[in-house]
């Protein structure tokens, strides 16, 4: 049985509105981030994986299971949705324990697992309060508790870090890493790209319902050979270095910093840029530091969505 999540030519339409279009993906275990703007199809992909919606075309396999078989699938899957509501009148404790009872756990075991999950998200104090009275961050945490309470092999989280304070955010990220370290799938979406950049093993970039890039973040970057890399250079004679750089055709843009001791350089070839810098240094120009300015998903994403500008 495959331990990957596989999308094969999956399309989903909401009436005449495109959800996702001919998506093919192989998601290995580890932390995978779905990145894209609002309406790009991130939640649609997640809902398709969980069987909350059904594909119009194509097939989906989650570790060998079909999303159309919730009885089997949801034993191994936890989904922390963006849907904010809990069944009417439920307390945080009831919200988690009711889901565990539906798994078939005995009342005692469900109680034990409920408290364990609630403790993991630090909500013990508020466990018997109604979910409807929770703050946004607390609702986020109780949903997370519910999704991890049965120790799923696949944990799917739609914008899981929204509304969390920095401390809880750090604890939550640690929890994701803990899950991933056990060989499980952790798939999350976020529009806070810096967070995704830091915690992900893989990234899937999605726009307008189509996958535009997937893989490890650095590999994705390598694949985008046309993607201009940005570098910040500090040097005493920035104007002279700028003129030397600009003579090369792979350099697409050079901006001089206001203090005339810094440069922002855009190049289409990291390799040739590296050789050029060596020659400049050997030619007697002092270079104090070189920093890559765009080594996060943000820049890559902007580049890809922006059509390779």
Residues that bind other proteins (CB under 8 A): 14-15, 47, 50-54, 68, 70-75, 79, 81, 83-89, 98-99, 101-104
Whole-Å CA distances, 54 to 20, 29, 64, 247: 12, 23, 17, 55
Nearer to other proteins, 102 or 286 (CB): 102
Burial of 293 (0-12, 13-18, 19+ CB in 10 A): middle
Nearer to other proteins, 98 or 207 (CB): 98
Nearer to other proteins, 77 or 212 (CB): 77
How far, in Å, CA of 302 to CA of 279, rounded?
31
Label each residue of 144-211 as H, E or C: HHHHHCCCCCEEEEECCCCCCCHHHHHHHHHHHHHHHHCCCEEEEECCCHHHHHHHCCEEEEEECCEE
How far, in Å, CA of 37 to CA of 31, rounded?
19
132 three-class SS: helix
Q: How far is the CB of 165 from other proteins (least distance, A)?
A: 25
Burial of 225 (0-12, 13-18, 19+ CB in 10 A): exposed
104 Cβ partners below 8 Å, 6+ apart?
none
Q: Which of 193, 132, 138 is nearest to 165 (CA)?
A: 138
- Say if CB 157 and CB 179 are below 8 A apart: no
Nearer to other proteins, 71 or 165 (CB): 71
Whole-Å CA distances, 32 to 29, 264, 292, 300: 8, 31, 24, 16
Nearer to other proteins, 39 or 137 (CB): 39
Q: How far is the CB of 232 from other proteins (least distance, A)?
A: 43
How far, in Å, CA of 99 to CA of 111, rounded?
11
Q: Which two tokens stand for residue 283?
A: 């030619």
289 three-class SS: strand
DSSP H or E segment with residue 137 = helix 136-148
């Amino acid at each position: 049985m495959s331990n990957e999540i596989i999308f094969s030519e999956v399309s989903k339409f909401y009436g005449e509105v495109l959800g996702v279009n001919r998506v093919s993906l192989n998601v290995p275990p580890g932390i995978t981030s779905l990145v894209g703007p609002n309406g790009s199809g991130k939640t649609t992909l997640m809902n398709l994986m969980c069987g909350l919606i059904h594909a119009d075309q194509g097939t989906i396999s989650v570790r060998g299971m079909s999303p159309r078989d919730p009885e089997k699938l949801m034993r191994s899957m936890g989904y922390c949705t963006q849907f904010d509501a809990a069944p009417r009148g439920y307390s945080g404790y009831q919200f988690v324990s009711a889901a565990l009872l539906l798994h078939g756990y005995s009342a005692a075991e469900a109680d034990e697992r409920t408290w364990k999950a609630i403790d993991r998200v630090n909500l013990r104090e508020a466990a018997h309060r109604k979910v409807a009275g929770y703050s946004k961050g607390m609702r986020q945490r109780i949903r997370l508790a519910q999704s991890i309470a049965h120790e799923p092999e696949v944990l799917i989280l739609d914008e899981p870090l929204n509304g969390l304070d920095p401390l809880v955010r750090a604890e939550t990220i640690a929890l994701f890493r803990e899950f991933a370290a056990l060989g499980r799938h952790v798939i999350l979406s976020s529009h806070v790209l810096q967070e995704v950049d830091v915690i992900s093993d893989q990234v899937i970039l999605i726009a307008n319902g189509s996958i535009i890039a997937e893989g490890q973040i650095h590999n994705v970057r390598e694949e985008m050979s046309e993607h201009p890399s940005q570098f910040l250079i500090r040097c005493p004679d920035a104007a002279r270095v700028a003129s030397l750089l600009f003579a090369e055709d792979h350099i697409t843009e050079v901006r001089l910093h206001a203090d005339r001791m810094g440069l922002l350089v855009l190049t289409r070839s990291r390799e040739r840029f590296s050789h050029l810098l060596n020659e400049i240094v050997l030619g007697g120009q002092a270079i104090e530091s070189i920093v890559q300015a765009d080594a996060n998903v943000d820049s890559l994403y902007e580049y890809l969505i922006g059509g390779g500008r």
